Chains A and B, each alone.
Chain A
Amino acid sequence: MTTLRAFTCDDLFKFNNINLDPLTETYGIPFYLQYLAHWPEYFIVSEAPGGELMGYIMGKAEGSVAREEWHGHVTALSVAPEFRRLGLAAKLMEMLEEISERKGGFFVDLFVRVSNQVAVNMYKQLGYSVYRTVIEYYSASNGEPDEDAYDMRKALSRDTERKSIIPIPHPVRPEDIE
């Protein structure tokens, strides 16, 4: 049970319980403002009855329509530890997919650390599959090695033949992705 609403600047002052998670990046203000200015509908937060923020999703629409690469992208999805196991992430993903459907996207994609098994499995359950591996996509902090990402995709109804999700067998480098 949660209130789903548009993320606003004021939420940046309240999202510590979500963002103090080691796998959730806190970006600079420009990054959030860019998303709010360009894709406000793709930035959704859920709030508990007590006013605590539970989790949020931040995404965008991008890619060429002509090349059938117009798609929704999940930039960040995070749920505070105490609000996990409620299916909230799935709900937020569902909303992002619906917005992408409305915009006529061919698919939705996202990047996830290969080590983040919990997330990878969740996305698989939601119908996502690994499209390709991106080598050393996540730059390391504090001495750990760089980490690979899975580029995972789910076809939307516009991609009737599900062409967008046919996996690429060879891993690619970050500079090769668009």
Chain B
Amino acid sequence: MAIQQADKLLKKHKDLHCAKVLKAIGLQRTGKQDEAFSLAQEVATLEPTDDNSLQALTILYREMHHPELVTKLYEAAVKKVPLSEEYHSHLFMAYARVGEYKKMQQAGMALYKIVPKNPYYFWSVMSLVMQAISAQDEKLAQTMFLPLAERMVEKMVKEEKIEAEAEVQLYFMILERLGKCVEALDVVRGPLGEKLTSELRSRENKCMMMYQRLQLWPECNALSYKLLLKNPDDWQFYLSYFDSLFHLMDKSWSQPEEGEHCVEGPVQTTVAEAVKFVVDRMEEQDKKESRPLRGPYLACLELIHRLRQRGCPDEKELGDPLELMVQFFGKFGDKPCCITDLKIYLHLLPPEQRSQFKNHLGELVPLGEAGEDGFGFPGDTKALQRHLCVCQLSRALGLQHALDTEGKLRLITELKAHYHYGLQFGKSCLKTELQFSDMYCLMAAHVYIDLWTETGDENMLWQSLGVLEEGLSFSPSNAQFKLLLLLLFCRLGAFQPVVDLYSSLDAKHVQHDTIGYLLTRYAGSLGQFAAASQSCNFSLRFFHSNQKDTSEYIIQAYKYGAFEKIPEFIAFRTRLNQSLHFAQVRTERMLLDLYTEADVTLSLEESVKAMGVCPEEDDIPWDNMRDNRDLTVLVSWDPKDRELTEEHRRLSLEEESVWLKVRSLTLRLLASLALLGHAPSPRNSDKTNENGISVKSSTLQTLLSQLDQTLETAAQITEKQTQYPFLGPPSSRLATALSSGSCHCQASALQLSLTLRELETTGLDDSSELQTQICNAFKSSVAQLQEMLSRCKGEVLEMKDGRLTTRPSLLETLVFFVETVCVLLWVASYSASVLRPLKSSLQKKKKKKKDSSTAMPVVLCGFQEWTGSLQGVVTQALDHVKGQEASLTALKLAALTLEEGYSQTQEECGFTRAAMDKVQSSYLGSLQELGDLLRKRADLLKSLKI
């Protein structure tokens, strides 16, 4: 429609630039990229100066991801209209979009010369700061860019031309980056500092920052003290208060005898003063009519912790940590955050006091008379929260883990009883609200998981699923239930239920980066290719929009003078671009496309070209990879020694990176294979490969040796057998990939393609050694594949002695098998393309010589034998999949008797059964997808003839 309108206009006014650009936008949005681009360029070369055309072109270039062309556009425009404030300002913004800081600096000054407005001047200054930040050479930043920026601001200060808060902030930023903290402090404290009014406590925050940098501990201490008197709940100032106090003590600082010793007021230098300060703050809260603040009480525990670290005996002045924590519980035990608060200080209790502590707390929980089952229940939600908090604390103290199986089962019964009892308090809750007793349910699930991991009893896992499903039915928007269910289903190898769970979390945008891994780690590895592809797409769409989006807001930050935000936005953009998850989904998405589509709709070569994979190019920032995964998104009350540590994070990132490297090399190798031009035959040696795209065999060789090295590193990593906390990061696919044999089988198949390439050059005569080598490789690849298939054998879901057992690893191994079949097929297809012309030229020769006695070269026989054997293995695999499908379908879960009574009610059994059904149906789904793909590959294999 828009295109038609534009065409109409163009009929009347042939040279209406704007109409052409609008038409181009129309074309671009209907997917006609090339047409749109050439139409736009047609206008651009005429260097238009009308605002409409310029703006429309700006929009178009941005949408086409060519922001650099916008700069050219306005460069031309300002040349023609040199006094236009508007065009100069557009030019500045165009440079900002592509990060041309030097040109921005000049454009800003040019603007200021035309129209002497302060913001333009400071845009130029900020561009200098950005040159400093982006400079590779820190010396250049410190001796050239920043001093120049400083002088530019000083000039304005001297001329008393400083107008806005943003200008003062920028001045501060420059001084800070120059390390001129004293000067920065003078600015903040001086008359210029009076302009810092927007942000609350802006001057205080900036002073504090400088005091810490300058190690002005007296000032730091006095300011923290002052701020705490005003707000005794602001935690950051307790930390700076304690830090500064101990620094002062270490330096044996003493008050000067005369005069004011510190601009910020009184300084405290002894433990006694600090103790008194904290005790006073607590008493202040105790006396208050309104709700007491938690700050002072936690500050007391923090001070004990720090004194203890220093081996200072004065901690006794503050009281016994056990008593203090019991008191804290007395005051705040009915708040859901009580556990989070106290958890940090549980280490202050010696192990032998743990049970005692728990018992003390128990006395502070009002429960009703114990019923038949021996459990007493809370009368209201506050009592419930207190009781829950005791449970959470005893878990965090390791008391739950110390129980034996009987004890844990009894604990589960108790937690479930409290859960069910507590539901009555939330009868009027909306669907969007949580039930008061939800966390009991979650904890019961955690204890089930403890039992499962300790004893291997899969029933525990099923019951965990059951209790969570039940919880979700009463509290349909509880994200924690969904997350844990999701994780459990994934561990069971059942991806189908995960799709709905994840989508009901309504995770969007940046959440794709932080929790998207929960989906993408499992979808593909469990053979749910369609779902896998979709989950990758969600994430990719987010990452791809990032570049364009952030640039616009960097520009906005200039406009509004939010100079501090500019480096922050740039760092944010970089963090997203360097995301581990981004690199993973990018790679996996392409591999998935190849495995499922290449040679089905498009040929491998066409697919690779369409994706734009370039084998020589590695676009993954290996050295700066950012792990943006939120690995603590699942709530855990586990004791410290079972919690996720920094070391776990490091190991998980390491493992994921190596796995990513394997995958990315595999992708690039497949691309090389697809683009591996045939060796120039002697006759038409000058004929180049069509499209001009070809890959040298040396590229393949290099990538193969990189893959070999990576696989060695991978083997070392898997040897460590790192176990992460259950609620932490999932293990990567690395271990299964190695144990399935797929990596090595794929690597040797790709190596084989290189040998074939050699044969292509040598020809069939005089190559008997090479031919034998190839034939051996053929045979060994079949053996490897056969071996892999044998590792897939077994029942993925089985009912034995009235119990249901799963072996999800069989599914993962089967996926690797199928992937390997694809790779072998492509290598076979390449082999055929090499052997076919060799064979036909041989036949021609034979005809000429009328010689029928010569035997077929071994490699040709070998190839036929090879494809035949491959077909054989694939057929066996298909039979296996069919067999699995049949036995799964025949499995009547209804026949399973779940133990009711002691551990599960009839209702709970219902939920457990539902979960089992979901797992069964998901396995079937995976097998069907795998079977379908395998069948397609089998057909292609059959059609391979030379």
Q: Give the B-binding residues of A (Cβ under 8 A).
A: 1-6, 8-10, 12-14, 16-17, 19-23, 26-30, 33-34, 36-38, 40-41, 44, 47-50, 52, 54, 81-87, 95, 98-99, 102-103, 115-118, 141
Contacts and interface: CB of A to CB of B under 8 A. Distances in A.
A41 B199 contact: yes
Given A5-B236, A29-B546, A14 B630 contact: yes
A133 to B, nearest CB: 19
A19 B549 contact: no
A68 B343 CA distance: 50
B734 interface: no
Contacts of A33: 549-550, 552-553, 556, 569
B337 A37 contact: no
B572 A20 contact: no
Contacts of B549: 28-30, 33
Contacts of A83: 336-337, 340
B293 A1 contact: yes
B234 interface: yes
A13 B513 contact: yes
Contacts of B41: none
User: Which of B431, B509, B515 has the most A CB atoms < 10 Å from its CB?
Assistant: B509
Contact of B628 (A13, A27, A30, A103): A13
Contacts of A4: 234
B511 interface: yes
19 contacts: A1-B299, A3-B235, A9-B569, A12-B510, A13-B513, A16-B515, A21-B477, A26-B507, A29-B550, A36-B557, A36-B565, A41-B198, A49-B235, A50-B343, A83-B337, A85-B335, A86-B337, A102-B197, A141-B506
A34 B552 CA distance: 9
Interface in B178-202: 197-200, 202
B12 to A, nearest CB: 35
B433 A36 contact: no
B298 interface: yes
Contact of A9 (B293, B477, B514, B572): B572
B633 interface: yes
Interface string B526-554: 00000000000000000001100110110
A79 to B, nearest CB: 10
Contact of A48 (B340, B432, B510, B557): B340
B562 interface: yes
Interface string B425-459: 00000111110000000000000000000000000
B234 A48 contact: no
Contacts of B469: none
A48 B506 CA distance: 25
Contacts of A141: 506
Contact of B557 (A37, A50, A54, A99): A37
A50 B298 CA distance: 12
B614 interface: no
B4 to A, nearest CB: 29
A40 B550 contact: no
Contacts of A3: 234-236
Contacts of B430: 115, 117
Contacts of A99: 198-200
A52 B340 contact: yes
A38 B200 contact: no
Contact of B630 (A6, A16, A28): A16
B556 A38 contact: yes
Contacts of A38: 556, 560, 562
Interface string B295-323: 10011001000000000000000000000
B196 to A, nearest CB: 10
Contacts of B546: 29
Contacts of A12: 510, 572
Contacts of A20: 479, 483, 505, 507, 633
B865 interface: no
B785 to A, nearest CB: 43
Interface in B551-585: 552-553, 556-557, 559-560, 562, 564-565, 568-569, 571-572, 575
Nearest to B434: A81
A81 B438 CA distance: 12
Nearest to A20: B479
Nearest to A30: B549
A130 B564 CA distance: 37
Contact of B344 (A5, A50, A81): A50
A98 B199 CA distance: 10
Interface of B: 197-200, 202, 233-236, 291, 293-295, 298-299, 302, 335-337, 339-341, 343-344, 430-434, 477, 479, 483, 505-511, 513-515, 545-546, 549-550, 552-553, 556-557, 559-560, 562, 564-565, 568-569, 571-572, 575, 628, 630, 633
A30 B336 CA distance: 33
A88 B514 CA distance: 25
Contacts of A82: 336-337, 339-340
A98 B565 contact: no
The 5 lowest CB-CB distance pairs between A and B, nearest first, are A33-B553, A1-B295, A9-B572, A20-B479, A22-B477
Contacts of B505: 20
User: Which of A19, A23, A29, A98 has the most B CB atoms < 10 Å from its CB?
Assistant: A29
B212 to A, nearest CB: 15
A94 to B, nearest CB: 10
A50 B341 CA distance: 8
Contact of B340 (A10, A50, A115): A50
A36 B508 contact: no
A40 B562 contact: yes
Given A29-B509, A98-B200, A21 B479 contact: yes
A30 to B, nearest CB: 5
A49 B298 contact: yes
A13 B581 CA distance: 13
A19 B477 CA distance: 12
Given A22-B506, A81-B434, A2 B235 contact: yes
Contacts of B434: 81
Contacts of A49: 235, 298, 302, 341, 344
A30 B552 contact: yes
A29 B573 CA distance: 10
Given A2-B235, A22-B432, A36 B562 contact: yes
A92 to B, nearest CB: 11
A14 B564 CA distance: 21
Contacts of A13: 510, 513-514, 575, 628, 630
A85 B294 CA distance: 12
A84 B336 CA distance: 7
A152 to B, nearest CB: 19
A115 B433 CA distance: 11
Nearest to A102: B197
B568 A8 contact: yes
Contacts of A21: 477, 479
A21 to B, nearest CB: 7
B250 to A, nearest CB: 24
Given A1-B294, A34-B556, A41-B199, A28 B568 contact: no
Contacts of A102: 197-198
Given A28-B509, A34-B553, A36-B569, 20 more contacts: A1-B233, A1-B299, A2-B233, A9-B575, A13-B628, A26-B508, A28-B545, A29-B550, A30-B553, A33-B550, A33-B556, A36-B553, A37-B560, A41-B202, A54-B337, A81-B434, A82-B336, A84-B336, A85-B335, A102-B197
A22 to B, nearest CB: 4
Nearest to A113: B432
A175 B553 CA distance: 26
A86 B569 contact: no
A48 B477 CA distance: 24
